[in-house]
Structure formats: C-alpha cells, structure tokens
Amino acid sequence: MADREPTGSTNPNVPGPLRGQTMGYLGELARAYVPPQMFSRVWSPAEGLAKGTIFPELYRPYEPGERA
Amino acid sequence: MWIYEKKLEYPIRVSYTNPRLAKEVITQYGGPDGELAASLRYLTQRYTMPIPQAKAVLTDIGTEELAHMEIVAALVYNLIKHASVDEIKAAGLDDYYADHDRALYFVNAAGAPWVASYIQSKGDPIADLHEDLAAEQKARATYEYLIQLSDDPDVTDALRFLREREVVHFQRFGETLNLVHEWMDSKNVF
Ligand SMILES: [Fe+2]
C-alpha cells in the first residue's frame, strides 16, 4: 500500500480522497486491512525454528501473567 | 496430494506423565479453534478462492495446520501414554478413558466431540478470509490460555512455537485479503 494514493483504494467506485472520512487512516471504509510485510532481514533456520518465524518483524513472544 | 515427512515440524518432548494437562491441550486437537478445524477449514475453502495466490496460501497453511495437529497429538499422547488408571481418574480424564482408553480422539477440553459446524465454507472469498483471520486469533488466544495452564516447560515450549505460527498465519491471510480485494476491484465485481 506504500505506493498508493492516500485513499488506499483501487475501487473505481470510491470517489475522491477519503482521508478525512477515515480519521487519518489509509484505506477505504467498511473493509479490513493488514499492512503487507516488506522483506527485510531474516534469522537463521535454526533460530527461526526455535522462535516460530524467521522474520523478526513478525515475532510476538507471549509472556503469561500479563492478563492471566 | 501430499508428501509425508516422517518427523514433526517442531520436535517435542514432555517432562512427565500429566493427564491433567493432556485434558486441556487436547482442545487444540479436536476443539472449536483447534488444528483439525483449522486444517479442514482452509483446505475446503480453497476451492472457491478466485485467484491462484489465495488458493496457494490456503493450501500451504491448511497443510501446515495438519502438521500442527500431529504435534498436538504427539503432545497429548506423550502426556497420557504411561498414565495409570488412578492418575487418569485423579485428573478427571476418566470419562474420556471410558470411551477411548489412551487413544487420540477429536474432542475439546470438556470432552465435546468435534463437529463440522465449527467451520464455515461460504463461497464468498472475503467472508471466508475474515473467518480465517478470526480463526488465527482464536487459536492464538487458546495457546495463550494453554501456556497459562501448563506446568510443564517442555509442553510450554511447543505451545509457544504453535502460537507464533498463528501470528504468522494471520499476517499471510491479511495479505491474501488485500490481493483478493485488488483482484475484485480490477474485475469491477461488487
Ligand atoms: Fe494457524
């Protein structure tokens, strides 16, 4: 989405910039967005296996007790 | 078709016999947000995805969920295979034992059997992908509850791996949702 207009919309039925209507968020109303992952550095296969992902930006370790 | 690797995606061990923990972890085998439901949901929904990338993501993740089902099965079985009947009774697993001995069966933590109504296959790719995003979050939450309930560091280690995979799957389904929206916009199909 980085190379898109601020509306983020490729829908030809969506008129004009929608930035004001979306409170500063990019994209059109009434749909969900997950930002696309941009490839950057990766961990080794061994470290990726231990952590569950080779992508540092997707690693979200959980510590119990936060809301237990 | 599939190619079977005679090893687990993630190596597991358990510290000791623990039918109480098995009774809880089994929900990720046959519960509403478990790995059987996840794999069957994705492998079924893929037929009505409109673009090859979406079919491929559902096939890949559905396949990985089968591998996770196998990991959960190995965890549960290793926790109960040496349990005595007295230990099983003390853990409240005697109801399960009456029907299944120490065999694996698709039930949730309370013993309710798996049902197809845990999953949907809607024919609408946007609706299906939103279900898949939600399914990943529900599976992540379940793994967090199981980590809270686990008193076995080896089991916790495997649960952490499986939980992180759900985070990655959520990202992939989100990217797939964007691709399907772009495809629909380009086709001007509303
Ligand atoms: Fe998943």
Distances (CA, A) of A64 to B75, B92, B149, B158: 20, 25, 10, 15
ipTM of the prediction: 0.91
Q: What residues does each domain of chain B span? A: 19-187
**Per the CB < 8 Å rule, is B186 touching A59?**
no
**Domain B19-187 class in CATH:** mainly alpha
Calculate how close chain A gets to B110, using CA atoms only, in Å.
20
**How far does residue A18's CA lie from ligand 1's centre (Å)?**
34
Whether the model clears a pTM of 0.95, i.e. scores above it, the answer is no
* Nearest in space to B61 (alpha carbons), one of B156, B190, B186, B166: B166
Q: Over pLDDT 70: what percentage of chain B? A: 99
Tens digits of per-residue pLDDT, A10-66?
Answer: 555 555 555 445 566 778 889 999 999 998 999 999 999 999 999 999 999 999 885
**Per the CB < 8 Å rule, is A53 touching B165?**
yes
Q: What residues does each domain of chain A span? A: 1-30, 32-61
